[in-house]
Structure 1
């Protein structure tokens, strides 16, 4: 019958905007930002990402930031391509994600996004161009360092646990604990850290197996050793300058190489929260914001 949706498909309400007309700018291209960008792109939104000139991403095999180094990269079927600002529209028309070097948001007036998502995970650290409430009609912040209603419209919880992915319409996300999340019983020992300032060098590859005590690389001659056995899940680019105690990589004790090349459960949970926030911003008059649970959350 004329006007009906094809069998098996749901007819889109006439008031629903075409997702391709909704431009979303994501600051950051790390694994969490990539999970968000991937999910939004899968839902048909026009996603643009920005990064710094030399990203210090660890989970490079599932990070669109890798396109800054390689020119392009594919994560679970979606391609991101490093481009100059003049090529944004052409790349968007192909269904790919354009990513450009723009830490200062100089292209913000040109992009004019309807939604801006700060997924850099600065965790409150100061930067030269902080995200502001007036940067877009709807602004989302991931993790600690943002206050909903002050510098962003909503915050999405990024700490592992019961509240992961929750959308907060008031207040802030859980503070940074400084401790890596627990995977298969391992937390701090699974992280590779620099023992001194200097240049990090390694010839290892993500997805390879290592044993406890094995040398993964070095910083100015000081060895970087794995503290546990497992799979190299994340590893900084060789040749980058690092600071003492800076994260250089991480070892996954579960030992499954597939986990290195697919978006993590945490990233997808956070992406689900962002998608909820985005849809609420577009259809909010029909779905009022739920009250945010009181702080502090009860202990897990």
Structure 2
């Protein structure tokens, strides 16, 4: 790897985070991804979080594997495979132990701190990210202010500023409305009508007609709001609260788009790569 000494910790494994991972991986950075033990990701076929659910996933030419410890994650990250660690918190306070013996009898913990931390959880608020967590802390989207919560914020709102790196100030505020795709916005998102367990009769990539049943939550039917392709569904058997996003129907009818990383995710990923390389360039200039 070109930047093998610059470990990046990516918090979140959703579809936008996966675009970030794709760009960083191809630029030559080792990555470790952390995700919830029970991911709520909808676009599962293009989300590294799916490795937690299925043990492993391949997305385009990205290979991700679920791991169970920080030590295992660190070792795998150097191979080009992306480790996904189910953890609500960052392991050991953003340090990873690579245990190497100092003598024949006594192990010594060598602490390795990621050079960059990227909060890609898209919570639309700052949960627990702090600017001192790594030499470079990057956050995606609304809820963060560069120079306060983190060093850089990447704009995630569709439009002219998508993917821009912000070094001072916040991203655009959360609109509360999904972006326009194929002329559809809020209506393309499927939400849980009640709290309960999600079950599906359709799969990601299936074509549906308007009104066709896609599945249910606790017996309450979920129907297609218009004709299109099922682009995302939360994992079947997931217990969900009322109102949470559980699916996505794409009116454009492009089945292949369900299985490839989106333009938006790649644009955001490009912004993260720019931020990391800008930081490394300035650091190199400072130390000569």
Asked whether the two chains share a fold, i.e. TM above 0.5, the reply is yes
Deviation at 1:18, TM superposition (A): 4.1
| Structure 2 equivalent of residue 296 of structure 1 | none
| Structure 2 equivalent of residue 72 of structure 1 | 56
Query: Is the contact between residue 194 and residue 242 of structure 1 (CA under 8 Å) also seen in structure 2?
Result: yes
* Pairing 1:95–2:80 present: yes
* Pairing 1:117–2:118 present: yes
> Which has the larger displacement, 234-243 or 101-110?
101-110
In structure 1, stretches of 5+ residues that fail to align are 1-16, 289-300
Query: Is the contact between residue 2 and residue 27 of structure 2 (CA under 8 Å) also seen in structure 1?
Result: no
Q: Distance in 1 between matches of 2:82 and 2:185?
A: 33
Deviation at 1:190, TM superposition (A): 0.9
Q: Distance in 1 between matches of 2:191 and 2:225?
A: 10
**Counterpart of 2:246 in 1: which secondary structure?**
strand
Deviation at 1:89, TM superposition (A): 3.2
Q: Distance in 2 between matches of 1:59 and 1:287?
A: 41
| Structure 1 equivalent of residue 162 of structure 2 | 164
**Counterpart of 2:235 in 1: which secondary structure?**
coil
| Structure 2 equivalent of residue 5 of structure 1 | none
* Pairing 1:257–2:258 present: no
* Pairing 1:188–2:174 present: no
Query: Is the contact between residue 191 and residue 251 of structure 1 (CA under 8 Å) also seen in structure 2?
Result: yes
Deviation at 1:94, TM superposition (A): 2.1
| Structure 2 equivalent of residue 81 of structure 1 | 65
Q: Distance in 1 between matches of 2:122 and 2:5?
A: 27
**Counterpart of 1:279 in 2: which secondary structure?**
helix
| Structure 2 equivalent of residue 38 of structure 1 | 22
**Counterpart of 1:20 in 2: which secondary structure?**
coil
Q: Distance in 1 between matches of 2:4 and 2:285?
A: 22
**Counterpart of 1:144 in 2: which secondary structure?**
coil
Deviations 1:135-165 (Å, cap 9, x if unpaired)?
1000000000111111100100000001000
| Structure 2 equivalent of residue 198 of structure 1 | 196
| Structure 1 equivalent of residue 214 of structure 2 | 216
Higher strand share: 2
Q: Distance in 2 between matches of 1:103 and 1:285?
A: 31
Deviation at 1:93, TM superposition (A): 3.1
Deviations 1:73-108 (Å, cap 9, x if unpaired)?
011111011112231233123210111012111332
Query: Is the contact between residue 280 and residue 287 of structure 1 (CA under 8 Å) also seen in structure 2?
Result: no
Q: Distance in 2 between matches of 1:213 and 1:266?
A: 28
Deviation at 1:284, TM superposition (A): 2.0
* Pairing 1:139–2:137 present: yes
> How high is the TM-score relative to the length of structure 2?
0.90
Q: Distance in 1 between matches of 2:161 and 2:68?
A: 38
> Which has the larger displacement, 138-147 or 234-243?
234-243
